[in-house]
Structure 1
């Protein structure tokens, strides 16, 4: 090998010097700039040591919403993301924080809530020594309840991982993702990452939609089963129009976490339970069942026999291909609900049909010495504005709510699709942050409230005008009602279901919030009217039998 001549050496040096260097920034600044571009300037967290470097010189245009436990943090972010229709940004503490949050991460997965979760990790230089408070398999811990998880191989790759996480979280079916970030990554230099436009909507296959339209047009007595994806996709008006065109009986799918149809409408036929035989019974007489934005079907207990009434055919429009894959029968179109329903409106031209039978109204609940949940919810329905938002988690009172507290407008009802408790009390805080001009009513059971009672502190500290209503029956009533399914007789003792001596007024006071207890049905109307008018959060403990 010969040495380069002085001329060629000078040319090499000159070429190197003339190459412009890429602009540099810190990982922290690159991520903050991305979050600004994505409209994610509210951060939900409960900080630990490994998260502190993110918050050095915390910018004025960001808001940090503190939750007093990680499950509360994720619950608040879930409500916020659903109400904002954009991913929420969550910051958790290493393995312990993610572990505390897993119940509500599972619920976010079931709710299809877009959420970018960052979890702190110990510094890269000490990871080989199993340091205190590190996460041994950070990307595996939240699985299978995140769509994607990553711990970038280099600090410089953190902004790209955050960008990818956002795009994946927002793609339908939406859901949470997780990025583990070592503590020393935030101060490292990197190249900035520009935000991109990434489509999150897939249009359903036209040929499959044409098949569904043909089956609906040919039906004699169609039934729609509406799920949470209808309201998630903003398809309320289109679904209403399609149901009216077909004069279809409309049911709400089992365990739906959103409202998708006005429950005072002439076509509304009620709620399907999560039991195979009862679903078949309620759908009896319908020849085409259209599961719209819903699984077909969600079951809670073992069942037997057919999934549909004899002679009925199933068609489905769903945004999740995995749900379409496990549907036991029928034809399924996969894609965005709103886009699919709009196409069905263009394709459907049914003949005139008779209206389905009217739903039998619930008998009026009357006051009794020990107040009933029906009377309490009937009174709430009479007092509240129909456009106020109900965030509910009272499993034993939910069937009563279905009869006495109808949801009439889009985006006025949120609950958990998972069945996991501890979601809705903090979710009410998130919804209130996202929709500051609307009244938020958190309708929570006494047992459910104790899973995430710390949410009261955040609501009080931020002075959010939420009315927390505790339906207090002093027990896990849903379990007592469910016991007969497993062979319990009414006289059999059921251990672990009594909840005596919980003082919710003291708990509210301990979280800097005013509370009032109601036992007399005669006073409930006035108490609720005053509570709903309160400009600050308030807790109403309603004692029911």
Structure 2
């Protein structure tokens, strides 16, 4: 193709191939048709039926592949619908390159129909936003977005007016952008001053402790933190509301999840005079309670590659650095201590219910724990039973647990779909409340359409149980009704996704014995709509 006939779309497609952005997650509109029509066969188009599902699937994909995913959204309506999911992607550190369609550049000044004021619509959640000054700058802007998304761990937006795609590409020598960006780790010597200070603080501690965060969730991070914990012989907690596991939760030194309120957090950490948070802020909370995070005698250290995370952590010492290399070096530098003599507390699995008695969430978790492979990715969105799931289904491999860091609902169904599509070698099980499932139930269509063999376990109690509990905690009655008449199984089947309704323990065991062994090879998703009680079998 000559330079004269080469379009911005042609140049962009070449750029996307070079960046390995060849799977497009989208719910298209008219401003994207010029780019998507006659898409080359080496690019895969993945349709979702709502923009929250689009971004949720791409988030799961990006996390599972550990590199950016490509998203396309439709001007104001599409970007607006996706903002909540983009916020989740940002807090989950999921690198996304997001193309947002815009009206024709030639009459934007008149604010025509479908023109959007897009640059600030998603607020501060994108790590970078750009509408190129010229059509010819679109490919370079996409390369820059890839760099920003990779560097900062979040969505980077490029706004593209619809007529840009068919404009001449211009001189590729002038308008090219780097195809690859290398990010070497800092030289060990650069870490020495910080390393010495933190090592001295830990060595001087009477009783150190560690906190693992979502940013430590990879093979290198787990290995480094295990080495440090075993050298110190100290307990390791997972950050509260952590979206991913930063430490093997079946390890003898794993102590559980930090509470998300200040009184219990202070009491739990009071025996420790130095607490080092690795890839987690100091310390994530939920409902506000007065008082400090820790007792005055407890000193805190945060180690993070996220400048923003460091900025809102009231720690005594902060180290802004790639986490795993620093922790590995710290493990070699600190003195070895005798291991704890206290045995790891085992959580008792609930006994099967008596014949005719209803299922509780714990029965489902225990049955899954007995059958699921160690490398299963569990995607969680069941707020009322999350503590019980943590206790009975510990993460045993990196990416063994995945949840929405932002807390908004509508994450699990699309994220599990995207994760399975990204890494079909690993089994994926989504555990979702029926209320949560309805926020992005459209993702089940995409799972079925694209052969994402996820097992979706929906815990159906016909209500927003977590909201009921919060209302009870306020001493009042909630005004919202139950929704017992909603059948997730019927909705799923209506979207083309196979589903079964489970009402007894025997039914549950029969289906899990049939399905769980197939999860590695499975290409057909399945929804298990499991009727459960509102209560719990869990005693912390």
Q: Deviations over 1:431-485 (max 9, x none)?
A: 0111111211111111110000011101111122111100112111111222354
Instruction: Tell me what 1:389 maps to.
Output: 377
Alpha-carbon distance between aligned partners in 1 of 2:201 and 2:469, rounded to the nearest angstrom: 39
Change (3 A) 1:208 1:483: farther
Are 1:242 and 2:228 an aligned pair?
yes
Are 1:304 and 2:302 an aligned pair?
no
Instruction: Tell me what 1:71 maps to.
Output: 52
Are 1:450 and 2:445 an aligned pair?
no
Instruction: Tell me what 1:407 maps to.
Output: 395
2:154 to 166, 175, 195: 175
Change (3 A) 1:356 1:120: farther
1:119 to 62, 85, 100: 100
8 Å contact 1:233–1:337 — kept in the other structure?
A: no
Change (3 A) 1:454 1:234: farther
Are 1:198 and 2:181 an aligned pair?
yes
Instruction: Tell me what 2:68 maps to.
Output: 87
Farther off after superposition, 351-360 or 212-221: 351-360
SS at match of 1:266: coil
8 Å contact 1:27–1:189 — kept in the other structure?
A: yes
Farther off after superposition, 526-535 or 511-520: 526-535
Alpha-carbon distance between aligned partners in 1 of 2:333 and 2:383, rounded to the nearest angstrom: 39
Alignment size in residue pairs: 518
Instruction: Tell me what 2:140 maps to.
Output: 160
Q: Which runs of 5+ in 2 are unaligned?
A: 534-540
Alpha-carbon distance between aligned partners in 1 of 2:178 and 2:431, rounded to the nearest angstrom: 39
Alpha-carbon distance between aligned partners in 1 of 2:480 and 2:155, rounded to the nearest angstrom: 33
Alpha-carbon distance between aligned partners in 2 of 1:283 and 1:331, rounded to the nearest angstrom: 17
Instruction: Tell me what 2:205 maps to.
Output: 219
Shift of 1:233: 8.0
Instruction: Tell me what 2:536 maps to.
Output: none
Instruction: Tell me what 1:274 maps to.
Output: 260
Farther off after superposition, 294-303 or 474-483: 474-483
SS at match of 1:25: coil
- Aligned ranges 1:419-458 → 2 under 5 Å: 419-458=407-446
Q: Deviations over 1:27-79 (max 9, x none)?
A: 11111111111111111001100001112331111100100111100000000
Instruction: Tell me what 2:28 maps to.
Output: 47
TM-score calculated relative to the size of structure 2: 0.92
Farther off after superposition, 530-539 or 281-290: 530-539
Farther off after superposition, 195-204 or 523-532: 195-204
8 Å contact 1:138–1:151 — kept in the other structure?
A: no
Are 1:110 and 2:98 an aligned pair?
no
Alpha-carbon distance between aligned partners in 1 of 2:531 and 2:3, rounded to the nearest angstrom: 65
1:146 to 122, 126, 139: 126
Q: Deviations over 1:94-115 (max 9, x none)?
A: 0000001111001001111100
SS at match of 1:180: strand
Alpha-carbon distance between aligned partners in 2 of 1:161 and 1:243, rounded to the nearest angstrom: 43
2:492 to 508, 518, 526: 508
Change (3 A) 1:23 1:207: farther
Q: Which runs of 5+ in 1 are unaligned?
A: 1-20
Change (3 A) 1:346 1:26: farther
Are 1:187 and 2:166 an aligned pair?
yes
Alpha-carbon distance between aligned partners in 2 of 1:205 and 1:198, rounded to the nearest angstrom: 23
Shift of 1:219: 2.0
- Aligned ranges 1:339-358 → 2 under 5 Å: 339-348=325-334, 350-355=335-340, 357-358=342-343
Alpha-carbon distance between aligned partners in 2 of 1:406 and 1:516, rounded to the nearest angstrom: 26
Instruction: Tell me what 1:361 maps to.
Output: 346
1:337 to 323, 329, 332: 323
Q: Deviations over 1:111-167 (max 9, x none)?
A: 1110011110010112122111111x2111112100110111111111111111110
Change (3 A) 1:196 1:505: closer
8 Å contact 1:270–1:359 — kept in the other structure?
A: no
8 Å contact 1:225–1:290 — kept in the other structure?
A: yes
SS at match of 2:485: coil
Alpha-carbon distance between aligned partners in 1 of 2:481 and 2:383, rounded to the nearest angstrom: 14
Change (3 A) 1:282 1:23: farther
Farther off after superposition, 425-434 or 532-541: 532-541
TM-score calculated relative to the size of structure 1: 0.91
- Higher-Rg structure is 1
Change (3 A) 1:484 1:333: farther
Q: Deviations over 1:314-345 (max 9, x none)?
A: 11101111221222231010121122223223
Q: Deviations over 1:241-295 (max 9, x none)?
A: 1111111200000111111211121101000121111111122211110111001
Alpha-carbon distance between aligned partners in 1 of 2:220 and 2:242, rounded to the nearest angstrom: 15
Q: Cα RMSD over matched residues?
A: 1.8
SS at match of 1:289: strand
Alpha-carbon distance between aligned partners in 2 of 1:480 and 1:272, rounded to the nearest angstrom: 23
Alpha-carbon distance between aligned partners in 1 of 2:205 and 2:5, rounded to the nearest angstrom: 63
